[in-house]
Amino acid sequence: MLPVENPTTSYWQATSADSPIHDHGRDGPLPTEQLFDVVVVGSGISGATAAYTLLRGEEGDDDDDDEARTTKRPRPKVALVEARRACSGATARNGGHCRPDAYAGFLRYAAIVGKDQAHKVLVNERQTMDYIRDTAQREKIDCDWWQGKTFAAFMKHEVKALSRKSYEAYDEYGQLNKEEVTWIEDAEEAQRVTRIPGCVGAATFTAASVYPLRFVHGLLSRSIDAGLQLFTHAPVTSIEHQQQKQEQGIWTLSTPRGTLRAKHVLLATNGYTEALVPGLGDFLLSHKAQCSSIDPPPAYRDEGSLKQTYSIAKGGEDFEYLVQRPCNDAKRSSKGGPFILGGGHPLTPRDQVVGTVDDSTVSDAVTEHLRTYPGRTFEGWNDDESRLTHVWTGIQGYTRDSLPLCGQQAWSDSAGLWLCVGMQGHGMARAATCGRGVARLILGQLAGANEAAMTDEQWEHASGLPSCFRWTNARSKRRDVDCRYE
Query: Can you give the pLDDT at residue 69?
Result: 36
**Cβ-contact 324, 302 below 8 angstroms:** no
* pTM for the predicted model, two decimal places: 0.95
Residue 201 identity: G
Residue 480 carries which DSSP code?
S
Query: Can you give the pLDDT at residue 1?
Result: 81
Tell me, rounded to whole angstroms, the distance of Cα 260 from its chain centroid.
Answer: 26
Tallying the residues shown for the chain, one arrives at 486
Three-class HEC string of 61-72: CCCCCCHHHCCC
Cβ neighbour number for residue 66 with a 10 Å cutoff: 10
Among residues 213, 277, 275, the alpha carbon closest in space to that of 241 is found at: 277
Q: Using CA atoms, how far apart are residues 57 and 436, in angstroms rounded to an integer?
A: 9
Residue 420 identity: C
Among residues 387, 338, 359, 100, the alpha carbon closest in space to that of 211 is found at: 338
Sign of CA dihedral 243, 246, 249, 250: negative
Tell me the sheet residues that pair with 220.
none
pLDDT per position in the chain (486 positions), as tens?
A: 899 999 999 999 999 999 999 999 999 899 999 999 999 999 999 999 999 999 998 776 655 444 433 336 789 999 999 999 999 999 999 999 999 999 999 999 999 999 999 999 999 999 999 999 999 999 999 999 999 999 999 999 999 999 999 999 999 999 999 999 999 999 999 999 999 999 999 999 999 999 999 999 999 999 999 999 999 999 999 999 987 655 568 999 999 999 999 999 999 999 999 999 999 999 999 999 999 999 999 999 999 999 999 999 998 778 999 999 987 644 444 568 999 999 999 999 999 999 999 999 999 999 999 999 999 999 999 999 999 999 999 999 999 999 999 999 977 777 899 999 999 999 999 999 999 999 999 999 999 999 999 999 999 999 999 999 999 999 999 999 999 998
Three-class HEC string of 92-118: HHCCCEECCCCCCCHHHHHHHHCHHHH
Domain architecture of the chain: domains with CATH: 11-93+213-283+402-476 (3.50.50.60), 145-209+286-397 (3.30.9.10)
Q: Which residues contact 150 (CB under 8 A, 6 or more apart)?
A: 99, 204, 205, 206, 207, 308, 309, 310, 311
Among residues 201, 206, 180, 203, the alpha carbon closest in space to that of 191 is found at: 201
Q: Using CA atoms, how far apart are residues 375 and 382, in angstroms rounded to an integer?
A: 6
Q: How far is CA 353 from CA 286, 289, 292, 359, 484, in A?
A: 8, 7, 17, 10, 11
